[in-house]
Structure 1
Amino acid sequence: MSEAEVRSYFDQLSNWGRWGEDDQLGTLNLIDDAKRLQAASAVRSGRGIGCARTLSPVRSESNPQPILHHMTVSGEGAAQTGFAAAADWVGFDFHGYAVTHIDAPSHVFWDGKMFNGRPASTVRTASGARAGSVELARDGIVSRGVLLDFPRHRGVAYLDPGDPIHADELVACAESAGVTIESGDIVLVYVGRDARARDKGVTYPEEHGSPGLHASTLPLLRKWDVAVVGSDAANDVMPSGVDSIATPIHAVGMVALGLWLIDNAYLEDLSEACAEASRWTFQFTIAPLRFKNATGSAVNPIAVL
């Protein structure tokens, strides 16, 4: 796609003002009580599956910025009789490609603006995100989840770096799974990141590329009115193929649509479970930490089949 085409999406697909001039929730407005009840009705077996990557203090190829984990109290000096306890201190940078996290509207700007026209300067060094903060999701995000398994759809073990997923394939994958995407759904795009890493080693998106959604999917995401999009990679195909717009799903999706994104989910177990059950919908719960003035949060999303 040309840069001009993708730039036109900022106006064509915009949700600015759709839920009022003061709105900060963006596409989370699409999840109401009826949608949460629908999500509950999607539960059949009650099987719960965590969809987060392990937070590790050990540096590795797949964890280049490990968390900082210190024991403030350990069991090494615990009394041999009576009560004792241990305690931890943890610090981490959750944006990037190692930690499963959700991006809040304050995370991305275009032309100096975040979603609904608020200036980028609303996010300040001293005080953080004074609008569009992750605390907007303080009551949790619960909706119907839909897994789109692209390796299974293509008949391969995994997608390779740089493999794009176009709009027509999004539609075809949903149809082959017998799923109709509905307003307020949480759509999870499985590309087989971890399966490929086991076979061919770890790759770095900005260096080697990454499979993901092509810019051409943006009108479809707007048409479907999805509330959240997530992936076991970083959502955007890299390279994007669009001059000067490295991550159109983040840029247009977050700024114009007000779309919330989950990056770096762990979807191997969910993919296997859905295939075993021949069912690709479930209740999906995301519980961001209630950070004050933050651009996102590490999360451990839970699918209940």
Structure 2
Amino acid sequence: MSVFHGQADLGGTGNGPPVSRQEFDELFEAVRTWGRWAPADRGAWNRVTPDHVRRATARVRSGTVVPLALPWNTRSGPDNRKPALHHMTDLGDVEAPEPSTHKDFIAADYHGKGITHLDALCHVAYRGQLYDDRTASEVVDAAGARFGAVSALGPLVTTGVLLDLPTVLGIGWLEPGQAVHAKDIIAAEKALDVTIGEGDAVLLRSGHVRRRRELGAWDPDTASAGFHVDAVPLLAERGIALLGGDGDSDVRPSPVDGVHSPVHALAMTAMGVPLLDNLDLEALSAATAEAGRYEFLLVVAPLNIPGGTGSPVNPVAVL
């Protein structure tokens, strides 16, 4: 079902076409999966069965392991307004008994642009509702979430698919504000000889990390490459279990009137698909290009935080 009237070319720099709130709401209804699974707060992760895991592990050939997380970011900047904390609590200066120890403390307000993290289903509500028609105000309070928490997800082991758009286009990166559409996904699948399947994790490389390293930081809340909402019906049709990227999956500025993170709302709130934000996909881009294949085993193990809205993570791809 399409509710859109046109598409911009990926070769351009636009975040359009613009989408009205009515069109967005129609799309939300078209892709939602409320009532489909039990337990509901695992959402689309219910698609990943033991058979999916076995098929994913069978993709390992070289045994090359690629970590996908950014370094723990303690420096303030335009893309890290709430820096993570890291300080030493023990410098090994106790005289006795042996051995001496060294200890440290870490903390992070990780829902932002500076920390690689997983968004759980309780993280995003639309019109006051979480996934599976749960009223946010009734299940989330100061103690945490009683539905859709990251502790309900547990580890995910599945097939990962890298949509490496800069490699497809022969460029260093997509410019901030550049939208990726459904037709671009299909073109990338053909160019990379890969097909997104049920239960897969889809990772979008826009080249965000490379651009930042070469040109410096900017405010990705204002402008970042990512999916246009017209790409979501295709991802829903393929039955994905997880969506992530080197941004936060949304193109910014948002093309949807009055909705600042429309892909977040469609993926998590409508479809029950958790998100991976702020990945470093540069090493994976190089490894997949060298291997000549863009499918791999993906392992995501969030911290077991009862009531948590997500977790810092260091996902691992194994080729």
TM-score norm. by structure 1 comes to: 0.95
- Equivalent position of 1:249 in the other structure: 263
Identify the match of residue 73 of structure 1 among 90, 93, 107.
Answer: 90
Which residue of 28, 33, 40 corresponds with 1:15? 33
- Deviation for aligned residue 1:46: 0.4
Provide the residue aligned with 2:16 in structure 1.
none
**Cα distance in 2 between the residues matched to 1:81 and 1:113:** 55
CA distance in 1, matches of 2:192, 2:140: 44
Q: What's 1:98 paired with?
A: 114
Alpha-carbon displacement from aligned partner over 1:125-179 (angstroms, at most 9, x marks no partner): 42111110000122x1000011110001111110111000000001110111111
Q: State the Cα RMSD in Å.
A: 1.5
Spell out the pairing of 1:1-305 with structure 2 (5 A cutoff): 1-20=19-38, 23-75=40-92, 77-79=93-95, 82-138=98-154, 140-207=155-222, 209-305=223-319
CA contact (8 A) 2:298 2:318 kept: yes
User: How far apart, CA to CA, are the structure 2 residues paired with 1:89 and 1:229?
Assistant: 30
Counterpart amino acid of residue 20 in structure 2: S
| SS of 2:231 mapped into structure 1 | helix
Q: Secondary structure at the match of 1:175?
A: helix
Q: Contact conserved, 2:77 with 2:217, CA < 8 A, in 1?
A: no
Q: Which runs of 5+ in 1 are unaligned?
A: none
Shift of 1:3: 2.5
Number of residue-to-residue matches in the alignment: 301
- Deviation string, structure 1 residues 41-70 (Cα, Å, up to 9, x no partner): 010000101000111333345433221223
Please give the alpha-carbon distance, in whole angstroms, between the structure 2 residues aligned to 1:57 and 1:240. Answer: 28
Deviation at 1:249, TM superposition (A): 0.8
Which has the higher mean CA deviation after the structures are superposed, 242-251 or 59-68? 59-68
Q: What TM-score do you get using the length of structure 2 for normalisation?
A: 0.91
Distance in 2 separating the partners of 1:91 and 1:236? 26
Determine the C-alpha separation between the residues in 2 that align with 1:86 and 1:60.
29
One-letter amino acid matched to 1:121: S
Letter in 1 for 2:271: L
| Residue identity opposite 1:184 in structure 2 | G
> In the aligned structure 1, how far is the partner of 2:256 from the partner of 2:52?
35
How far did residue 297 of structure 1 move?
0.4
The answer to whether the Cα contact below 8 Å between 2:73 and 2:114 also exists between their aligned partners in 1 is no
Corresponding residue of 2:8: none
Counterparts of 2:87 and 2:213, CA distance in 1: 30
Identical amino acids, percent of aligned pairs: 39
Rounded Cα–Cα distance in structure 2 between residues aligned with 1:197 and 1:187: 22
